[in-house]
Structures are given as structure tokens and as C-alpha cells.
A and B are shown apart, each in its own frame.
Chain A
């Protein structure tokens, strides 16, 4: 038992735990922020996984052509947006089932990315590291939060902007009303499905950016297994966070902690069964949801399609 506590202590005092944790959390947060917006509008698009992968791939190809990380990030957003457009048009214009569309898109993007990756083989590299003076000297978390590759820093304004968009603009108010009571929103002149489509576009753009961040801020190259099911952890973070932005980010941090714990415990030389350790992030996500999913209130119309005249 004392060995176990010692291990926990070592992990908590090791700087690399926080650096890895921040990287994982940032990646999840890019996707979860957009997904949170989409869910507040009443859509549960599980194509986040596909959006992340698509964004990662288009940004890698973009860098291969232009050799500019900034343009690659923008192209990553476009890549996520393409998936979002298909998802939004099919589920909120054509009224196909949103889960079915999302699932199919995930599988299609996975196939496409694998196929095109083998054909094109884009070459990429990590973006430059920017250390923010003073802040990066903070103990333990300083380097994790303020000495990262620069795409990392796009996350901070993104979160603030998202909060402002949803809570301080008319568009955001309409968006939330569409998620809570689409019938009333419709009667008061809001185009319900249009708002929902827009919310999915937003999720596509942020997830695409997240995919690009993964390539240029964390991994440095593209492969088709790069996302590896973490898009679903991002969705779980939104639910875990009770559909608040604060909670969503907290969920990202906790789930990322589990991912980082897994790396650290091996990095510090502790012998733990690797199979069980690999499933740890998913287990933590499941347990987290089992504890919190019950206590929070979802947007009332979450995952319910809106067709005028049908309730």
C-alpha cells in the first residue's frame, strides 16, 4: 500500500504528468467545446470522432502542400467542417437518424483517411514551441499550460469565444432555446433546424482544429489511428460536465488525467499490467458518467429530431 501511495506521489510531483495531461486535455477540449455547443442546440452528433480525424488529415495534407502551420490549422477546420456539413444536411435537413449518420460518417472518414493517407503520404512536423515568459516558470503546471507548441494556445481564446457566443449573443440565446423547446422556438420565428445545422458546423470547425492541433501540437505526424476513439471521450466529457462549459472542460481535464496517468506510471518505471492500464481512460470515463450522468439535467430536446407539426 505504501508503494502504491509512493507511486501516486511520484506521479503527482512529476512535471511530465502535467505536460501530457495538458496535451490530452487540450485535444479533448477542442472537440468537447464544439460538441457542447451542438448539444446545447439539441443535437448529439457522434461524428465528432470523424471530424477530428478529418481535420487531422486535411491539416496534414495542407501542411504538406503549403508548409505553413497556420494555413494547415485553417485547413484542419475546413476538414472538420466538411464532415459537419454532411452530418448537418443529412440529419437536420433530410431528417435521417442523427446517430446512424454520425456512425456512418465515422466509419467513412476512417476508411477515407486510411486510403488517402496511403496514397498521398503527407509529411508533417511539430509546430514551434512558444514559452510564455513568467507564467511558464510556475511550479508543476507552468510548463504544461504555458510552454507548449503554439497551436495549443488557440484553445484559450476558443473557450472564451464559445462562452461569449452561447451566452452573450442573440444567436446563442436562440441556439439554447432550440435545444430546450424547439416547438416554442419555432413558433417565435426561429428556424430550428437551421440553428441546429449551424451548431454542428461550429462543432465541426472546432473539432477540425482539434485534429490539426493533434498533428502539429502533440504527435507530429498523421496516421489513421491517431484519434483512436477519443472523440467519444470528448462527448462523454460534455455529459459528465452536465452540459455546462465549465463542467465540460473539467471533464476533459479528468479524463485526460487518466490518459496521462497511464503514460506516467510506466514512464516512472512502475510495473502495472499494461492491458488493464490501457483501458483505464475508458473505465474512468464510464465510471465518471455512471456517477454524474444521473444528477445533471440534459437539454430537454437533446437528440430529438425536429419536424414541424410532429411532436
Chain B
């Protein structure tokens, strides 16, 4: 009994040690890269902190950027629990935002109710776009890794087409001035509220994201549905034999994950703010939020609650990057830091897995 708890404690220690070492390793590598290209890493760190937290209004901005990333990540966690690799969130988000725009204006109900409709249609749009990949997978056997990804480009172009035709998404001439390919701005009462807290505007989407993270986390760990999904992810054949229809649960998980990405798109549209334009749809609206949300999910390792702080860190890197340019170092260093961090965080669990197996093997040999 004591031995067991001791073992447990040393395991936690090992985890902490491994994770700290990898994060430090990634940061040191990034610093070396900055130094090697003739920069200085200290002002870069300072600029990152200024841009993400310290300057007035910046942490609200970071929270606002984190919200859609978190939503995308939650969706990704659902599909990866079911053993599916959805990497098309960027497209699902954009298509979701387009659906939200189109139906938001089509229905045009009174203020708050229409905001709800916008969010719901965003989710539906994203789910349908992921549904195409689900259909291709379960009907035609196309791997979802590729189809979701190829659909990103297709989705981008389809929405861009919609934005070039007035009868679909393009704003009438009076509303867009000389600009091409923009939708009409959402009316004031069709936007998500942005209450001000301590001088920071905090978009309402943050609250939606956190609540959904809690719900999804509980649903995955405590409900029959979550159990079936996990079973499908761990061993599809066993799941099928015990009555979990692969097609239904798999397609459902994929569409749900697309739905979350679409919801993120709708929340960006209705949430507005400095980061996401002017409550209107333009080409390139998704601005890599889908990709970053996917990274958040990878780092959070299938835990929706862990995704909350991770999304905040990644959002901080993004909001901070706009301040890095002033230090003379290329702002895209934040992309590198992000990639290195994710890569570094993949190492500890893998190393632990191998160590555990080696130990188990040694134990087994002893017994023989």
C-alpha cells in the first residue's frame, strides 16, 4: 500500500519533471533561433507579455481570441476521443460563419433571439461541412484525415464565391462602399455583448466556451454516450461487437466537432472586436483560428478542461505577436514558438509510455 502511493508520488514527480524540461527546451530553442538571426530574446518576451497581458485592454483581447480557439479545441477533442482525425476545422469554421451570416440576415428576427439563431446556424454550417467528410468516410471509405483537409480549400473558395454574389452573401452596393467581397455588417442588436471588466472588454463568447468545455468534459467522462465514443476510439472492432454503431457514433462525433468549429466561426462573427473584424464576413475571415484551435486540442491531450488554459496561452502568443514586430524580430517567431511547444509537449507522454512498458517487462521477467 505504502509502496503503491510512493510509486504514485514519484510518477507525478516524473511527469512534472518531463513536462518542465520539454517546455524549457522548446523555449530555449526559440531563444537560440532569435539570437542566431541577430535578435535579442529579452525584448521579445517583454513584447509578448505587453501585447497579451500588460498593456491596457490587452488581456480582454487575449480572452476574446482564446474563446473561438477553445470552441474549436473542444470539438476536436470530441472527434479524437472517437478515434477520428479531423484536421479541417479552419474550413468548418469559415463555412459556419458563412451560414451564420446568410441565415442571420435571412431570418432577421429581433435582437437577442437572432443572436442565438446566428450561433445555432453557425454550428449547423460547420457540422454540415464536416458531415461531407463523414459521408465520404462511411459511404466511400475516404480517410477523414485527407477529406477534412481538402475540404478546407474547397470551403474557402465556395464561401469566397458566395461573397462575390449579392444574392448570396455580398452586401448591396450601398452598404459596402468600394469594397469587394464583404457581407453586410451585423446590426447592433444582433451582436454578442462585450461587457467591460476592469477596463477590458471581455466578449461573451468566453463564457460560452468555458461552459461548453465543462459540459463536454462531463459528457465524455460521465455519460453512456461518452463511454461509447471512447470505446469506439480505443478499439473500433470491440465497440462494433458490443453494439456501438461505428457509422452513427463516428459520423456524429465528426459532425459535432465540425459544429463546434462552426460555432466558433459564428461567435467570431457576432463577437467582433479588434481581432475578428467588423461583424462582417470577408475572405480569409478564419485567420488561422481553426489551425490554432487544433493545436490547443493536441496539447490538451483530449481533456476539455485542460484546453481552457492552453487556449489562453496560445491566444496570448497571438495577441502578443503584434507587439513583437517593434523589437525588430519577425513577428512570425510566435508561430515557431507555438510549433516547438506542441512538439515538445508530445514527448513526455511518449517517453513515459515506453518507460512503463520497460518496467512492466522487467517485472514480468523477474516473475519467470
Contacts and interface: CB of A to CB of B under 8 A. Distances in A.
Interface of A: 44, 46, 86, 90, 94-97, 99-101, 103-105, 107-112, 114-116, 118-120, 229, 232-233, 235-236, 239, 273, 275-276, 278-279, 282-283, 285-286, 289-291, 293-294, 307, 309
B171 interface: no
B335 A99 contact: no
B140 A294 contact: yes
A107 B136 contact: no
Contacts of A110: 335, 339
B245 interface: no
Interface in B334-356: 334-336, 338-340, 342-343, 346-347, 349-351, 353-354
Contacts of B37: 115-116, 119-120
A273 B161 contact: yes
A229 B153 CA distance: 9
15 contacts: A96-B347, A99-B87, A104-B298, A107-B335, A107-B339, A111-B332, A111-B336, A115-B330, A115-B333, A115-B335, A275-B160, A276-B161, A282-B151, A294-B141, A309-B357
B140 A293 contact: yes
Given A94-B351, A236-B146, A279 B346 contact: no
A119 B330 contact: yes
Contact of B350 (A95, A103, A229, A275): A95
List the 8 closest A-B pairs by CB distance, nearest first: A108-B339, A111-B335, A279-B157, A94-B350, A275-B161, A119-B37, A96-B350, A290-B140
Contacts of A120: 37
B154 interface: yes
Contacts of B24: none
Given A90-B346, A236-B146, A282 B339 contact: no
B170 to A, nearest CB: 12
Contact of B338 (A107, A118, A275, A283): A107
Contacts, number: 137
Given A107-B335, A112-B336, A44 B136 contact: no
Contacts of B143: 239, 293
Contacts of B343: 86, 90, 101, 104-105, 108
Nearest to B361: A309
A101 B347 CA distance: 10
B295 A107 contact: yes
Given A96-B350, A104-B295, 7 more contacts: A96-B346, A105-B339, A236-B146, A239-B142, A282-B154, A286-B154, A293-B141
Contact of A286 (B151, B161, B335, B346): B151
A225 B161 CA distance: 22
Interface in B280-324: 291, 294-295, 298
Contact of A282 (B136, B153, B342, B349): B153
B342 to A, nearest CB: 5
Nearest to A284: B150
A118 B334 CA distance: 14
Contacts of B218: none
Contacts of A235: 146
Given A46-B145, A103-B87, A115 B157 contact: no
- Greatest chain A CB density within 10 A among B136, B143, B147, B330 is at B143
Given A104-B298, A104-B343, A114-B335, A90 B154 contact: no
B150 A107 contact: no
Given A95-B350, A104-B342, A235-B146, A279 B153 contact: yes
B150 A236 contact: yes
Interface in B134-175: 136, 140-143, 145-147, 149-154, 156-158, 160-161, 164
Contacts of B156: 279
A114 to B, nearest CB: 5
A111 B338 contact: yes
Contacts of A104: 295, 298, 339, 342-343, 346
Contacts of B87: 99, 103
Nearest to A105: B343
Contacts of A107: 291, 295, 335, 338-339, 342
B336 A115 contact: yes
B244 interface: no
B186 to A, nearest CB: 23
Interface in B175-205: none
Nearest to B334: A111
Contacts of B154: 279, 282-283, 286
A45 to B, nearest CB: 11
Contacts of B150: 232-233, 236, 282, 285-286
A114 B37 CA distance: 13
A38 B219 CA distance: 38
A8 B351 CA distance: 56
B336 A278 contact: no
B208 interface: no
Contacts of B140: 289-291, 293-294
A239 B150 CA distance: 14
A119 to B, nearest CB: 4
Contacts of A100: 298, 346
A110 to B, nearest CB: 7
B212 interface: no
A289 B140 CA distance: 8
B311 to A, nearest CB: 16
Contacts of A103: 87, 294, 298
Given A118-B330, A282-B154, A286-B136, A95 B353 contact: yes
Contacts of B160: 275
Given A104-B298, A293-B143, A115 B350 contact: no
A279 B147 contact: no
A203 to B, nearest CB: 16
B31 interface: no
A42 to B, nearest CB: 14
A46 B332 CA distance: 23
A232 B332 CA distance: 24
